[in-house]
Structure 1
Amino acid sequence: MEITLDRIDRKLLKLLQQDASLPNIDLAEKTNLSPPACSRRIAKLKELGLIRKTVALVNPRALGYNGLVIIGVVLDRSTAESFTAFEKAAAALTGCLEVQLVTGEFDYFIKLRIRGIDSFNEMHSAQLVSLPGVRQVRTFVCLKEVFETTAIPV
């Protein structure tokens, strides 16, 4: 279902994606709305499911997560049950940011924040190899994080 957005809705979504901590009064001023009208607009965007949730983006390096790995996974069988079991277990991995079902050579990609290679090696031995239904795992260690965003074009 595609939702039609007007200029003000788009501006609100852009502003909130840049800084969701902006006070309502600032959002209202930047969109030429009264504060109550602005609050109603944001509530409607939430009600429509355009805003899923509001979060703080934490600096991973400040918490000691200095690395990023992307893991390609091939399962040993392609059944609904094996996908469900794998997805549940993969989402519980330490530092897991994303689990994506994909087409091509792999069945899934997992994006993980890691503290370092030693901690990843321990996690690989303790958690990755015991994921249900895994036939093959291929790990890609990111050397440089070039670009990352959470903003969706509106």
Structure 2
Amino acid sequence: MTLDRYDRAILNALQKDSSISNLDLSKLIGLSTSACLARTKNLKELGVIKQFTTIVDERRLGMETIAFIMVILSPLNRETANFFLEQINKLPQVLECYSITGNKDYLLKIVVKDMPTYKDFVIDSLMSIPGVSRVETSIVINTEKRTLSIPTED
């Protein structure tokens, strides 16, 4: 897929503020409102724009602990992996889940209120999933950089 400068400008602006009005967006990038709206709709229909969302500050909601959990499944087969993913998708604490290479099978990013809640999550939710044989956790001390913006330049 080839994006021109207007498409990239739309994506950059929407990644900074998805609540920007079409009028303000069109002024910002130098297109008519109808052309801007058509391009935005096209980017969404093509799947380049997955969704418009709101980013919430987890700490302001009392979620003080962010952790990355590496999971090892046993046995590692399609049935175990599919069941694991079904269960993970039911857990609101899991923000992201990646299947990874190396000696671990999955990497989870979770958010919880505090360390006791983290412990309960691991024991009661994660380790209770059949097939989860081992987990290793790294607790986030401080977030140094976080963005959801994808670079649009070639």
Pick the TM interval, shorter chain: over 0.9
- Counterpart of 2:138, as a letter, is F
Q: For the residues of structure 2 that align with 1:141 and 1:12, how far apart are their CA atoms?
A: 36
TM-score, normalised with respect to structure 2: 0.95
| 1:112-152 alpha-carbon deviations (Å, 9 max, x no partner) | 01110011112222111101201111111111111111000
Residues 72 and 138 of structure 1 are in contact (CA less than 8 Å); yes or no, is this contact kept in structure 2?
yes
Verify: 1:68 aligned to 2:66, yes or no. yes
Equivalent residue number for residue 6 of structure 1: 4
Structure 1 stretches lacking a partner, 5+ long: none
Other structure's SS at 1:130 match: coil
Equivalent residue number for residue 30 of structure 1: 28
| 1:78-107 alpha-carbon deviations (Å, 9 max, x no partner) | 211111001111222241101100000200
Equivalent residue number for residue 112 of structure 1: 110
What is the number of equivalent residue pairs in this alignment?
152
Q: For the residues of structure 2 that align with 1:138 and 1:93, how far apart are their CA atoms?
A: 18
Verify: 1:77 aligned to 2:75, yes or no. yes
Equivalent residue number for residue 54 of structure 1: 52
| 1:35-63 alpha-carbon deviations (Å, 9 max, x no partner) | 11111110011111100110000111111
Equivalent residue number for residue 86 of structure 1: 84
Give the alignment's Cα RMSD to 1 decimal: 0.9
Verify: 1:149 aligned to 2:147, yes or no. yes
TM-score, normalised with respect to structure 1: 0.95
Residues 89 and 132 of structure 1 are in contact (CA less than 8 Å); yes or no, is this contact kept in structure 2?
no
Residues 28 and 34 of structure 1 are in contact (CA less than 8 Å); yes or no, is this contact kept in structure 2?
yes
